Amino acid sequence: MAAALGVVVFRLLGTRTSLGTRFDVSAILNGLALGEAAHSSSNAVLTAIAVVSFALIGGLMVVWSLLQWRLDMVAALVITLVGSVATTEYLKPTLHARADVPRELAQGFPSGHSTVALALGLSFMLAAPVRRRTIAAVGAALYAAGMGVALVFNAWHLPSDVGGGFCMATAWAAGAAQLVNRPLDRGVPAKLVAAALVLVVVAALGAWHLRPGLSFTVTSHRRLLEAAIGIAITAVACCAAFAYAIADRSAVATRS
């Protein structure tokens, strides 16, 4: 419920408050000032990471849960990944276009890339064994924050779009987690996850090599730094809240 409310809050902050509107626009202007070479670089990186990670990591978790005959986990993972992305893609053209931002950003709420990033991270947290859940939460927060910051740096999305995407993913993951009957005894093997992550990194590095040029200075792009900090805090808060929620549910399931 709180995460779903967060989607509304980020939308209102970005469209109904002067502070939020100024922050969004200023961050994007900073991003546009990075130059064409930087945009080409992060365009390729964002595309490579989003497509490869969704197919590899998301598919890996679903297949492994099927092999473990954890149909409750399969349902939770599929609902989280498909539901969050489908809702995001439905809302973007449905919500009123913003008149105070560049035309290509007018209907970018919530961000699909940030939704995918955190949906993957939260799904991994849910599928991970309890003893590794803290590590999974740290990885999920880092991955989502990195994706969200890159989106703003590249002027693909406004900061409020990214925050809305994070909350969208969290809302779906929290609801889907209710379907899981008990803690997962055997999580996705670390070696398989590591192999998938290596492939994701290779795809990102390959894209980076083909599109070099990203540069950033704190003194010239202060609003981007502020946006990056806010995005990181939001990602950490979503992961921490989800970890607390599923830890409480695991404890109840164990006692019963």
Percent of the chain topping pLDDT 90:
16
Selected residue with higher pLDDT from 152 and 248:
152
Cβ(147)–Cβ(114) below 8 Å:
yes
User: Alpha-carbon distance 222 to 19, whole Å?
Assistant: 16
189 Cβ contact list (under 8 Å, min separation 6): 64
- Residue-wise pLDDT for 71-82, tens only, equals 888 899 899 999
CB-CB neighbours of 90 under 10 Å = 10
Please tell me the predicted confidence (pLDDT) of residue 209: 46
> Could you state, in order of their start, the residue ranges of all structural domains in the chain?
2-10+26-255
Whether 219 has a pLDDT exceeding 70, the answer reads no
- What is the tens place of the pLDDT at every residue in 95-124? 988 887 878 888 889 998 899 889 988 998
pTM, rounded to two decimals: 0.79
Of 220, 184, 148, give the one whose Cα is nearest residue 68. Answer: 184
